[in-house]
A = this chain, B = another copy of it.
Amino acid sequence: MTGNREIHLASRPAGWPTEANFRLVETDVPTAGPGQIVVRNQYMSVDPYMRGRMNDVKSYVPAFALDAPLDGAAVGEVVASEAEGVAVGDTVLHGLGWREYALLEARAVRRVDPSLAPVTAYLSVLGMAGLTAYAGLLEVAAMKPGETVFVSAAAGSVGSLVGQIAKLKGAGRVVGSAGSPAKVERLKALGFDAAFDYHDGPVRESLRAAAPDGVDVYFDNVGGDHLEAAISAMNLHGRAAICGMIAQYNDTEPPAAPRNLALVIGKRLTLRGFLVGDHNNLRDAFVSDVSGWLRDGTLSYDETIVDGIENAPAAFLGLLRGENLGKMLVRV
């Protein structure tokens, strides 16, 4: 008996991954043992950090195993339960995406209320992307009202929230960079004061034109020339929250930027890397703020949804190429 499909890591990518690094595998639908539940996944998340897990190196999360299913955030409906407190029909958020049916310990899932928000929101604006934006901007970079904020990959799931939250929290000017004219238009519609396509010229020049009085806070999703440009543009006592460096995740040689790092001394800059998992202390404030902004319509979020578990690898590859507007999700 089969009936479940899942995506395995078939080989480790060298440089840019391809479809050949993934394999669609048919297996049996799992059966719940004591304390366990089975979830029929509805949506799963693909995220840039997964690229790092495809390498066989020690990192902050374990590497994916070869010839085994990938994992990551997902939401779905409980179809079998041998556990108290979780009932068939419940909608739950958990960490076993990349498969149609997930077998989980009941304590490893979090029940969410599909009447409060679309279930996909728990994978984006109300989930990890939202808290990442909120914590990075307000706690790691400690943005203050009136400051100028620059965010890269600004049309992505995290970046688009960073810019909007900055405005809602009183930033004086918010600038975003993105990878297409359509994304730039979208940023302006979302309330960014300025936005540019990083293909249009050196980031340093585009940023200087967009933020002529300099940058106080840089939210980095990209690294490379974006970080170098931000360091050049930053004002005294500027802070960078380093969230990601997607520009170099597929590099096979170590990258060589930023060459202007010595500026951190005279400008007294702080560059701080962070992971959202360290900031759960902010969860209550985050949920309260974001729920309110969603209710009154002041916060928007975009989703790019790909259909079918068999297309999850393509969705992930598209994410790395920047083909998404907002959160990239797979409808399982």
Residues of B within 8 A of A255 (CB): 259, 261-262
Give the Cβ gap from A56 to chain B, nearest Cβ, in Å: 15
A272 — nearest CB in chain B belongs to which residue? B270
Query: B275 and A266: CB pair below 8 A?
Result: yes
A268 touches B275 (CB 8 A): yes
Residue A321 lies at the interface, judged by CB distance under 8 Å to chain B:
no
**Interface hits, A268-327 → B, CB 8 Å:** 268-275, 278
Query: How many A residues, CB 8 Å from partner?
Result: 33
| Assembly CA distance A254 to B270 (angstroms) | 20
Given A254-B259, A270-B271, the answer on whether A265 and B243 have CB atoms closer than 8 Å is yes
A258 CB within 8 Å of chain B? yes
Q: In the complex, are the beta carbons of A272 and B269 less than 8 A apart?
A: yes
A110 at the interface (CB under 8 A from B): no
Could you mark each residue 236-255 of chain A with 1 if its beta carbon is under 8 Å from any beta carbon of chain B, else 0? Answer: 00000011110010000011
Q: Is the CB of A59 within 8 A of B266?
A: yes
The answer to whether A274 and B268 touch across the interface, beta carbons within 8 angstroms, is yes
With A270-B272, A272-B270 in contact, do A242 and B265 touch (Cβ < 8 Å)? yes
Within 8 A of B (CB), among A85-111: none
Q: Are A60 and B271 in contact (CB under 8 A)?
A: no
Closest to A277 in B: B268
Complex-state Cα separation, A267 to B248, whole angstroms: 17
- Pairwise interchain contact A271-B271, C-beta atoms closer than 8 A: yes
When distances are taken between beta carbons in the complex, the residues of chain B under 8 Å from A227 are 261
Chain B's closest residue to A58 (CB) is: B266
Do residues A265 and B273 form an inter-chain contact, with CB atoms below 8 A?
yes
Q: From A227, which residue of chain B is reached at the shortest CB distance?
A: B261
Question: A262 to chain B: closest CB distance in Å?
Answer: 5
Whether a CB of chain B sits under 8 angstroms from the CB of A18 is no
Contact in complex: A265, B271 (CB < 8 Å): no
Q: Which of B245, B257, B268, B275 contacts A273 (CB 8 A)?
A: B268
Partner of A245, one of B245, B257, B265: B265
Shortest A217–chain B CB gap in Å is 15
Contact indicator B243/A262 (Cβ below 8 Å): no
- A256 at the B interface (CB under 8 A): yes
With both chains docked as a complex, state the minimum distance between the C-beta of A173 and any C-beta of chain B, in angstroms. 22
Residue numbers in B under 8 Å from A59 (CB-CB): 266
Whether A273 contacts B267 in the complex (CB less than 8 A), given A256-B256, A259-B254, A262-B248, comes out as yes
Interface residue A27 (Cβ < 8 Å from any Cβ of B): no
State the CA gap A258–B135 with chains docked (Å): 26
Complex CA distance for A256 and B260, rounded to whole angstroms = 9
What are 8 A-B residue pairs whose CB atoms fall within 8 Å in the complex?
A52-B266, A248-B262, A258-B261, A264-B271, A264-B272, A264-B273, A268-B273, A270-B272
| Interface of A toward B, CB cutoff 8 Å | 52, 59-60, 223, 227, 242-245, 248, 254-275, 278
